[in-house]
Structure 1
Amino acid sequence: MHAPMPLISTMVGGLVLAFILGMLAHRVKISPLVGYLAAGIIVGPFTPGYVADLSLAPQLAELGVIMLMFGVGLHFSINDLLAVKHIAIPGAILQIAAATLLGFCLGQMLGWSLITGILFGLCLSTASTVVLLRAMEERQLITTKKGKIAIGWLVVEDLVMVLALVLFPVITEMLSKEGVSPTEILYSLIITLTKVIAFIAFMLIIGKRVIPWLLIRAARTDSDELFTLAVLAISIGIAFGAVELFDVSFALGAFFAGVILNGTEFSHRATNNTLPLRDAFAVLFFVSVGMLFNPAVILESPFALIGTLFIILLGKSIIAYGLVRFFKHSKETALTVSISLAQIGEFAFILAGLGLALGIADSKLHNLVLAGAILSISINPFLFTIADKFALSRLRKNTTLTDTTSKETAKPIDKQQPMMPFSDHIVIVGYGIIGQKLLSELNDANEEVVIVDHGKEKVRLLKMEGHHVILGDGISEEVLTLSGIAKAKWLFITLDNPYETAQIMQMTKSLASHVKIVTYGSHLDEIEYLYDQGAYEVIEVKKDIAITMASKVIPSL
């Protein structure tokens, strides 16, 4: 008989259930995060059956926080923020303030203190990075204007939440003392901010030099294991050092470790190499959060839960929609941004957990936040479906049937009528550098080509040049139908994301199984995956580059 092994049994139980329920969640087209949280609920103390070691949950959650915040830092891009700073910075700050006020008001109705109400409002004010980015990727919106606004908005939210994680312990400690004057509170805040600034300065001055130096040494070993270990050691070591040396949070340390790594030439390799481990610890984080959830809150506090969902799904969305429209952006952009923010996730869990640790939040607050997250994440895909239908209806309304060989008045597109009047043509999805070169070569060969791209300015210019072009995303059945895919002979997909490419291939196969699909991949696993998904040919980018380079000295190639 083996001795009790609570850590192993907790991890095995949590991960196995997380996989099963995550797959089920994916099957019904909701975020796998819901499955991970449900796994935690099942192994938690509030449901019958196997109960994991609850004492391990905080430590697993802390490791998960470090990995999550490291990942946020790795994806943090100041350029993304600066590109939309005029709307993302004021918009996000105003939306956080308004949503926090709504949460505070609900907290007052529930009888909570001032600081507890503010904490609750902040939990409801910030969206999940994981959920938003996956929704953007699925709809190929990341490189669009509205996608960049949503991501920039999220970056500001993340920065505000990181600051809140640093300041809340200080504010709570000061308020817990009797007879503390505003001057003393201000003094403590100044001391804390000084420590934060000192840590940031240390990272920018010392870390920015030492970290690349360490990574160069690890990369020169030509060992993926040592390089990955170096990245993990840096991330966890800096997070631990931030607490021990500067008295700031693990979250801030891990976040800046990711930011510094993101600024090095090894950022892509660091991101790819650590992704499996970051994902595993992120899953354990969500499982450990789920372990603390008591489903009884649904029956015990139904009106409080309805109020929480109202703020998340409607309050935040209406505020964000109004702010985006105030900054003179389209209804479609405002709708996309508002729906992107109509959910809460990892930062809400981290803040709620911090509140429990500090004694300013009770289990009811934590349960309301978690229930609001599970329900809002589950509902969010359906809201995006509504937005997609709205966008398609506008596309059908605004797109016109144009014959490039005549000057006749354009006619509206009928839903069932392909946009292009010819057959045996070639469809190109994605008009980046590769798409542009491909179009040029095909035009020289006198092939009929239809381009599909979501960039309005690109589409406008292509139409002016007399090309057959459709505004929209290749993953859309409507857009593919308008491209005349049913009568096409080839489909060339020039997108960087293999998973988006696979979705377009699946949609194409369902509409026109005869079409031969050509795309490209950067790595062997990508290439094999795309072949498995039905590609006729997948170009190996690195091999193609090597042949092109060698042809400079070997003309026969």
Structure 2
Amino acid sequence: MELFAELSVLIVIATVVAVIMRLLRQPLIIGHILTGLIVGPIVLDLVHSVETLALLGEIGIAILLFTVGLHLNPQIIQRFGRVSLITGLGQVTFTSVVGYLVCLALGFDSLTSFYIAVALSFSSTIIIMKLIADKGDLDVLYAKIAIGFLLVQDLIAVMLLLGVPLFSSSNLSFSTVIVFLLSGVVLIAFVILASRFFISRANTFISESHEFLLLFAIAWGIGIAALFQFFGFSLESGALIAGIALASLPARHEISARLMPLRDFFIVMFFIFLGSQMQLGDISNLIPTAIGLSLLVLIGNPIILMIIMGLLGYRKKTSLQTGFTVAQISEFSLILVALALSLGHVEQSVLSLVTLVGLITIFGSTYLVMYSDQIYTMLAPALGMFERKGAHEPRLKRENYTVVLFGCNRIGYDFLESFVRMGERFLVVDHDPETIRALTEGGVAAEFGDAGDPDFLESIDLSKAELVISTIPDNETNHLIYKAAKAANPRSIVMVVAHRVADALAHYEEGIDYVILPHFLGGQHAAELVVKFKTDRTKYEALRGKHIQHLQLRIAIGHEHPRLPRRSL
């Protein structure tokens, strides 16, 4: 079969399998690997241009890591929360240690055990962001924590990809390590300086033409990757550094958006290549080991993260939901082991094993994340061990509050200012220990607790509350708050937040007094401004200045406007 016809058949089969994955609501990465299995020697044996497919896959890896680097703005490190750093570093460390010991017990040598263990410790930012967005949980606490520590994992992966080629040296010594490190520093410095003093100044020229911007981005990303490979580093590390170097450019979002279709096409070839290299004998022999390692990821990783978050003071529901976000391995895991294979550090069977683990864990974790609320309801009685005993018991001394606010997020912050101006005695309830600590230090009456826990709601005296507001975008939680508030004081006014019209109407039918739909409310507010100010530029300028000050304050306290991620693998 000619190369063009071969690629055409691969794309058609990949599309058919992708349709099935969409119907099953599974990440497309599973479909791409299954496509590789179908077109490989196990089923149809259609892949004969192996070198071409491998080359297309390498281009896909380079573009994928380049776009990942574009979103790793060095300035964002300053905004890492303590929780993200501790959970990210802690989970990777503990999973790697446990995974290493398990692999040694299974008979793997030390180097192979190291690669498998590290591969098991990384979770997929792309898949988790997609699942959280589909579930509508981007504003929920567990999602914010997960996105933070996944970014920490990505940075750890960057350092690993830089360091792995060092171990391929046959005469490894102290001087070799020093030369390697110095070479890396010089290369990275060259790329950063080139982007800072040349590309940033030519940003306007580069951005004037969309076609030239795309061509420049491809040339920069693949060119730097090739440069790193020439000097003995991995092309993967070069592509990441190339992206990070451009992460501060104003045009980074447009570059990422324009590369997305190209990235998706080539990365499909990479995953198809992975699947096509798996042999029937490998799969049958590796299935028991793959299942065991998959259970370590699906069960062990969440438990490790729940223990860490419990020690940090988080409630069991937040810990469980966050734990489920690390119940799969990452595309970085596959890339890392593929790199190890190319360097001769591991055998093909190891890559097949990790690929099988990827299929199992990505499939399983999808349902864990999507149905985490229902799973929590079933497991709640047994999860008490993951909460720090006595750390968040309700205070014995309570005062009568006329206003109670559940959730001090972006919307809740505006309510706080209003309560102060009103002169009302108010209480803030939140399930983020960091938020409670900041509020308490600021002199605000604050209570740590999970509003989704009926027992906790009963412990709060709502009998004097005349106004109860929930900014928590969860229907079941808002239902519980409404029931608790009305049971304690039938005359209380209850306001909640919803993100869908159907949810808002359901809340009204239930009896809730007012439902906040943030996006609709924002449009109404802007329309009222137009009616009020008409075409008076002076008033708009004054409002603009106040708005800029308000936004700068929001940035200072870590608030960001919600943004849905683009659909991806």
Q: TM-score, structure 1 length as denominator?
A: 0.71
Q: State the Cα distance separating 1:20 from its structure 2 match.
A: 2.5
Tell me which of 206, 215, 219 is aligned to 1:229.
215
Which residues of 2 match residues 48-127 of structure 1 at below 5 A? 48=44, 50-51=46-47, 53-78=49-74, 80-127=76-123
Q: 1:399 is matched with which residue?
A: none
Which residues of 2 match residues 166-205 of structure 1 at below 5 A? 166-174=162-170, 184-205=172-193
Q: TM-score, structure 2 length as denominator?
A: 0.70
2:272 alignment partner, SS class: helix
Q: 1:313 is matched with which residue?
A: 298
Q: 1:211 is matched with which residue?
A: 199
Q: State the Cα distance separating 1:82 from its structure 2 match.
A: 3.8
Q: 1:359 is matched with which residue?
A: 344
Tell me which of 319, 322, 328 is aligned to 1:343.
328
Q: 1:26 is matched with which residue?
A: 22
CA contact (8 A) 1:127 1:341 kept: yes
Q: Distance in 2 between matches of 1:468 and 1:86?
A: 31
Q: State the Cα distance separating 1:110 from its structure 2 match.
A: 4.0
CA RMSD of aligned residues (A): 4.7
Count of residues in correspondence between the two structures = 479
Q: State the Cα distance separating 1:374 from its structure 2 match.
A: 0.6
Q: State the Cα distance separating 1:300 from its structure 2 match.
A: 2.0
CA contact (8 A) 1:43 1:52 kept: no
Cα deviation digits, residues 422-478 of structure 1 (max 9, x gap): xxxxxxx998579969x99xxxxxxxxxxxx999889x99x999655335336x577
CA contact (8 A) 2:314 2:431 kept: no
Cα deviation digits, residues 24-55 of structure 1 (max 9, x gap): 22222222221122122212222225335222
1:213 alignment partner, SS class: coil
Tell me which of 535, 542, 545 is aligned to 1:551.
535
CA contact (8 A) 2:320 2:376 kept: no
Cα deviation digits, residues 375-424 of structure 1 (max 9, x gap): 10111122124422366798xxxxxxxxxxx99999xxxxxxxxxxxxxx
Tell me which of 236, 241, 249 is aligned to 1:256.
241
1:469 alignment partner, SS class: strand
Taking only the aligned residue pairs, the percentage that are identical comes to 22
Q: State the Cα distance separating 1:311 from its structure 2 match.
A: 2.0
Q: 2:470 matched to 1:470? A: yes
Tell me which of 285, 289, 300 is aligned to 2:274.
289
CA contact (8 A) 1:454 1:473 kept: no
CA contact (8 A) 1:211 1:234 kept: no
Task: In structure 1, give the amino acid aligned to 2:34.
Answer: A
Q: State the Cα distance separating 1:66 from its structure 2 match.
A: 0.9
Q: 2:149 matched to 1:153? A: yes
Tell me which of 129, 134, 137 is aligned to 1:138.
134
Q: 2:36 matched to 1:40? A: yes
Q: Distance in 2 between matches of 1:230 and 1:431?
A: 40
Q: Distance in 2 between matches of 1:343 and 1:152?
A: 17
Q: Distance in 1 between matches of 2:532 and 2:135?
A: 34
Q: Distance in 2 between matches of 1:119 and 1:306?
A: 18
1:116 alignment partner, SS class: helix
Q: 2:389 is matched with which residue?
A: none
CA contact (8 A) 1:167 1:189 kept: no
Q: Which moved more, 1:228-237 or 1:504-513?
A: 504-513
Q: State the Cα distance separating 1:519 from its structure 2 match.
A: 8.3
Are residues 165 and 508 of structure 1, via their aligned partners in 2, closer, same or farther at CA, if it must alter by over 3 Å?
same
Are residues 82 and 10 of structure 1, via their aligned partners in 2, closer, same or farther at CA, if it must alter by over 3 Å?
farther
Q: State the Cα distance separating 1:339 from its structure 2 match.
A: 1.1
Q: 2:254 is matched with which residue?
A: 269
CA contact (8 A) 1:162 1:252 kept: yes
